[in-house]
Amino acid sequence: MQNTVEPEPEPEPKTVPVSLNASKNSPNSTSKMSKPDPLITNSSIDPKSGFCSETNTYHSIRPAVPLPPESAPISVTSYIFSLLDSHPPPHSAAAIVDAATRRRILYPDFVLRIKTLALSLRNKFDLCKGDVAFVLSPNSIHIPVLYLSLMFLGVVVSPSNPSGTEPEILRLIRISKPVIAFATSEMANKIPSLEHGTVLLDSPEFESLTTSTELELGETDRAMVQQSDAAVILYSSGTTGMVKGVMLSHRNWIASLAAAHAVRKKARDSSPAIAMCTVPYFHVYGFRYSLTALAMGETLVFMGGTGRFALGVMLRAIEELRVRHVAASPPVVSMLALDGGGVISNSYDLSSLEVVGCGGAHLTPGVIEKFRKELPTVQLAQAYGMTESTGRVFGTVGPEECKQAGATGKLMSNCTAKIVDPETGIPQPPTKPGEIWLRGSFIMKGYVGDEEATAAILDREGWLRTGDLGYIDREGFLFYVDRIKELIKYKGYQVAPAELEHQLHSHPDIVDAAVVPYPEERVGQVPVAFVVRKHGSTLDESEIKEFIARQVASYKKIRRVIFISSIPRNSPGKVLRKDLIKLALSKSISKL
């Protein structure tokens, strides 16, 4: 490691509202860069923590990662193809494997399917750069091919949780305004009529679109996609409030892939790694992990299906396919950690397993300790990031970093950070807690059509205010402390209290209501509702829970209702959630 860290260039201030197609001359374009930090002396950046005493910012102490010139027209797909060309996997290597059925697609066929599908979609539906495609499907062998084909054309990919209700799906469609949808036959009825209709992913028609032998796609046929163009719209509630469309550019994904490639290429050997994705592709975690594995020429094993997570399927696949890396959510890590007595490790041959990555929500110290006891030879690699930061911006890489108890990793390349006191706004030095602020090539373009929400989270200098409290120690490790924002994290999914409160307030017998998180070791947090009933009403807990369950996805269900005479609020009317959380904890809620 060098004793000096060169300051990384930062994107210019974001301008809103955000448009889907930002040319390099557009005010929303990221093709220009703002002035880098002032000249930094060799002694101003601590080589261990990355803290710059002159600017009060943290710089990545990982090796700098070169990125393509911002003016170069490169899509995410083209960038992945270039990485595969630079380190081609063997022709016999599988790109994608279904853990349940063992169906696989070899790399030569995988690349051909992407290009064939891109040309088929352009010819059949006249899809072009800037169009939005809505995707509603569980993980399947078709999804990575579909994502990369659409982005190859410059079409914006907008995937959603297939467990969403029709009203929830309609709201997302109103945000992203797609011209076409791709869904399984089971999910298609949730999607309204669109300009080009809905293509069924489990139909012979879709299979023919990926395998047509009459089409030939040359390099001149690909769209001239600018890196500043929108690539993906994912859905998030941000720091608070209702769901919003997070617009991520091709540049965001290229920077993310480049950073991942830099830290993972050192671990590659003559045979491609087998990487398993147990998290959904519609989530930024699964989306990023799948693209990274494929860009590295690894074999991506995925967990499909729409039902409950099948731990046995995962473990058998690890054993039989010799999986080395697994991307998991906190509940899956908890299943492994709470095994007890080594039943899992004694029943399955997990000797190939090297790393279990965990993201989406914070792991408790107890779960981490139990995991290490049950699987002592497996690295537990944690990470920190948001949908708005294209996923991971802090991560533990390698066995030594994974040993750091409680840490969520070090800052990745092409990103800088601040730790800001939420009360005073003063940036904090190492070991001092504050709100985590992020800036760099990973940071989103903004929220689709929502100027107010974008301005609330993204300042004019390009800093993303995460709403999370943490600190960076003297070795450069981030430690998550608490959540300033009000989101509830259930199995890594975001549950916005505002959304549930809106539904509760629509009930005629409810005068007022508030929703808060309640800790539950296996799932992270669950939503608990405090309800003020209309005078004389006999509305009970089961009726309220059923009322909400009819309107939201299963992970958003209210798990407990506490009746209260009034909701505590401050003078401006903001709910005093901390008071309600203390009250919920004092109730010793169980069996949620």
| Confidence at residue 306, expressed as pLDDT on a 0 to 100 scale | 53
Claim to verify: residue 294 and residue 236 sit in the same structural domain: yes
Helix (H, G, I), strand (E, B) or coil at 223: coil
Q: Is residue 225 part of a domain?
A: yes
* Among 566, 580, 504, residue whose Cα is nearest residue 535: 566
Q: Is residue 385 part of a domain?
A: yes
Tens-digit pLDDT profile for residues 215-273: 565 544 566 899 999 999 999 876 566 889 999 999 999 999 999 888 765 554 445 68
Claim to verify: residue 443 and residue 530 sit in the same structural domain: no
Tell me the one-letter amino acid at 259: A
- pLDDT band for 110, please (50, 70, 90 cuts): very high
**Over 80: is that where the pLDDT of 532 sits?**
yes
Claim to verify: residue 356 and residue 421 sit in the same structural domain: no
Neighbours of 341 (CB within 10 A): 8
Q: Which residue has the higher pLDDT, 591 or 301?
A: 301
Question: Is the backbone of residue 126 left (phi > 0), alpha (psi -120 to 50) or beta?
Answer: left
Q: Is residue 36 part of a domain?
A: no
Claim to verify: residue 195 and residue 261 sit in the same structural domain: yes
Claim to verify: residue 405 and residue 520 sit in the same structural domain: no
CATH of the domain at 546: 3.30.300.30
Tens-digit pLDDT profile for residues 112-145: 999 999 999 999 999 999 999 999 999 999 999 9
Q: Is residue 568 part of a domain?
A: yes
Claim to verify: residue 58 and residue 165 sit in the same structural domain: no
Which string of DSSP letters, residue by residue, matches 347-377? HS--TT--EEEE-SSPPPHHHHHHHHHHSTT
**Over 50: is that where the pLDDT of 282 sits?**
yes
Domain boundary among 348, 375, 400: 400
Tens-digit pLDDT profile for residues 364-397: 777 888 899 889 999 999 999 999 999 999 999 9
Cis peptide before 17 (omega within 30 of 0): yes
> CA-based angle 492:496:501, to the nearest 5?
145
Q: Supply φ then ψ for residue 5, to 5 degrees.
A: -120, 120
CATH of the domain at 443: 2.30.38.10
| Confidence at residue 443, expressed as pLDDT on a 0 to 100 scale | 97
Claim to verify: residue 456 and residue 547 sit in the same structural domain: no
Rounded to 5, what percent of the chain is helix, strand, coil?
30, 25, 45
Claim to verify: residue 194 and residue 230 sit in the same structural domain: yes
Question: What share of the chain has pLDDT > 70, as a percent?
Answer: 85
End-to-end CA, the chain: 48
Are 519 and 559 within 8 A, CB to CB?
no
Claim to verify: residue 467 and residue 535 sit in the same structural domain: no
The mean pLDDT value of the chain amounts to: 86
Q: Is residue 122 part of a domain?
A: yes
Q: Is residue 23 part of a domain?
A: no
Are 323 and 316 within 8 A, CB to CB?
no
Task: Residue 418: give the domain boundaries.
Answer: 51-70+401-483
Q: Is residue 5 part of a domain?
A: no
Domain boundary among 340, 374, 400: 400
| Domains in the chain, number | 3
3-state secondary structure 421-467: CCCCCCECCCCCCEEEEEEECCCCCEEECCHHHHHHHECCCCCEEEE
Claim to verify: residue 437 and residue 353 sit in the same structural domain: no
Domain boundary among 400, 433, 464: 400
What CA–CA distances, in Å, run from 455 to 15, 18, 530? 9, 11, 31
Q: Is residue 505 part of a domain?
A: yes
Poorest-pLDDT segment among 5-14, 71-80, 217-226, 283-292? 5-14
Tens-digit pLDDT profile for residues 422-441: 889 999 999 999 999 999 99
Token pair in block for residue 492 = 């890594």
Claim to verify: residue 365 and residue 506 sit in the same structural domain: no
Claim to verify: residue 329 and residue 410 sit in the same structural domain: no
